[in-house]
Amino acid sequence: MSTDSHQDLAGKVALITGGTSGIGRDAAILFARHGAKVVVTGRRAEEGNETVKLARAAGGDALFVKGDVAKTADVQTMVQKTVEKFGRLDVAFNNAGIEGAWLPIAEAAEEEFDRVIGINLKGVWLCLKYEVQQMLKQGGGGAIVNMSSVAGLVGFAGAGIYIASKHGVIGLTRTAALEYAKSGIRVNAVCPAVIDTAMADRAFGTDPEAGKRVAAMHPIGRVGKPIEIAEAALWLCSEKSSFVTGHYIVLDGGMLVGPANPGA
């Protein structure tokens, strides 16, 4: 077992979507280290099973369920398999998302809109729907964290569909928090800036000059690490945040505060 004395999710059952890499994988390992039984979902079985191995090595029990959050039947199965394996569902991190093709609004294809909204927004809605149903079936209580982005708070030229999807996640988060507060279900979101993941590499490029430009967008002088977002999700899923619902945590290295001091 983990030598970490802080078992923030001891005895809890956690569902993490998009757990095959990046933030989702780090969250699965972290949640397991903090005592959770973790169900990891995603579309890539090999990577998902690797996450399960890492979560077990961290001291927790884990299961991979292959599925696409944009499909109702898959989301129902994710929750069903969680309950079949571990008996209940206590916390969820709805992390799955894609960046899509970044194009000006007038140039983007309708199919691209449907694909990005389907995963980033409809997927979060479907997960909320069936996670909340299960939590209510258990008698209420639980914590859910949705993946938004700084893109859910500002505009960004060329990324209109992605921006719309992440704004929508914040709206769903706030509404779900209101609807289920009296049932003891807390719903919050995280809003990262650029994080060192494969998604960021696809969106911004991997050459050194692109790296410098992206780092310069953050006054702190670097992009974020997946574990930094996972730590925030852990806190929001734990009893340490028991009075927090309907909010979002911005994890952006100062990006939304304003441009970095050019003289620094």
Nearest CA to 12 among 40, 31, 27?
Answer: 31
CA 87 to chain centre: 23
Buried b (16+ CB within 10 A) or exposed e, 87-122: eebbbbbbbbbbbbbbeeeeebeeebbebbbbbbbb
Contacts of 38 (CB under 8 A, 6+ apart): 14, 15, 16, 19, 28, 31, 32, 52, 55, 60, 61, 62, 63
How many helices and strands in the chain, by DSSP H and E? 9, 7
CB 195 within 8 A of CB 226: yes
C-alpha dihedral (230, 248, 253, 256), degrees to nearest 10: 160
Continuous segment of H or E residues that includes residue 258: none
Backbone angles phi and psi of 168, in degrees to 5: -65, -35
Task: Tell me which DSSP letter residue 195 carries.
Answer: B
* Residue of 130, 162, 180, 248 marked catalytic: 162
CB 145 within 8 A of CB 155: no
Catalytic residue list contains 180: no
Question: Quick one: tokens of 69?
Answer: 């959050």
**Catalytic positions:** 162
